Structure 1
Amino acid sequence: MLLILSRWRDWRRGRPFWGGLATVVAGVEIGVIPLAPLKVMLHQGTAGIPSVVLALVLVVLGLSAWFAPQYRGLAGILTVLLAAAALVLSNLGGFVIGTLLGVLGGALIFAWQPVPPAAPADPAAPADDGPHHGSPVTT
């Protein structure tokens, strides 16, 4: 069990997990509103189609942040732009909640930086005692 949790933690830390999660939740929130009962959908007409398409694209961008973190810059920028477009295209961006989650998720995706792997310690290398000023004094 501990091995599974360790692998999960390593996987999660190796990608913009929280930004992707916020983006997926924003897409689901924006997409659920137009998928109301049929009586409500008949009143919307074709206005519900851009909402569903926008929601699907946001979910795909969130998943791409998880499974292809090398494209995080593009995914983050597109997420913020689409979340802002949702204000106009989709019931005020899922009643503003979806837009706020999308902007937050896109910003987290864009700002995420991978942690470089730690260099293994070389036992043959001399120990570094801090900054050295000038040449060593020999007596």
Structure 2
Amino acid sequence: MLLSRRRWRRWRRGRPFWGGLFTALAGAWICVLPLAPLKIMLQQGVAGIPSVLMGAVMIVLGLTAWFSPAQRVLAGVLTTLIATAALVLSNLGGFLIGTLLGILGGGLMFAWQPYAAPRSTAPSPEPSPQPEPSPSASSTASPTSPVHHDPQGAQP
């Protein structure tokens, strides 16, 4: 039990989980609303087709964020655009709930960064003295500046 909880936590933290969840919920809300009874609907007919399509695409984008975290930026931007378009094209974006969940999910996906390993607290050995560069030589990186090897640009 404890092992599965650790695996779940590790999987969840390794991807934009909450952004994908909010996006999938927004897509489900927008997609299911046109199938509701006519008393609940604001508008039926032509608005039903885009609603189902936009909802399905948002569900796929939420799953994309979970299973392909490298595509999170594109998925986040597309989710935000579709959620905003759903406001006009799909029964006020699922009575505003779908639009708000979609914008929140898209923002969370876009802003998520991969976890960077913490810096080691062990003192590093003293570097050998380097000759000082001449004032005419301009360099932007100093020898003591930290180097990050994360291709996504996450900062520790």
Q: TM-score, normalised by structure 1?
A: 0.81
CA distance in 2, matches of 1:5, 1:15: 16
CA distance in 1, matches of 2:123, 2:63: 44
The sequence identity of aligned pairs, in percent, is 65
1:63 counterpart letter in structure 2 = L
- Higher relative CO (Cα under 8 Å, sequence separation at least 6) belongs to 1
RMSD across aligned positions (CA): 2.6
How far has the Cα of 1:56 moved from its partner?
0.2
1:1-139 to 2 correspondences below 5 Å: 1-37=1-37, 44-117=44-117, 127-128=123-124
CA distance in 2, matches of 1:62, 1:74: 11
Counterpart residue number, 2:134 = none
How far has the Cα of 1:47 moved from its partner?
2.0
CA distance in 2, matches of 1:28, 1:62: 11
Tell me, which stretches of 5 or more residues in structure 2 are unaligned? 130-156
Aligned length in residues: 127
Tell me, which stretches of 5 or more residues in structure 1 are unaligned? 135-139
Counterpart residue number, 2:145 = none
1:127 counterpart letter in structure 2 = P
CA distance in 2, matches of 1:38, 1:108: 34
1:52 counterpart letter in structure 2 = V
How far has the Cα of 1:37 moved from its partner?
3.9
CA distance in 2, matches of 1:19, 1:84: 16
How far has the Cα of 1:32 moved from its partner?
1.3
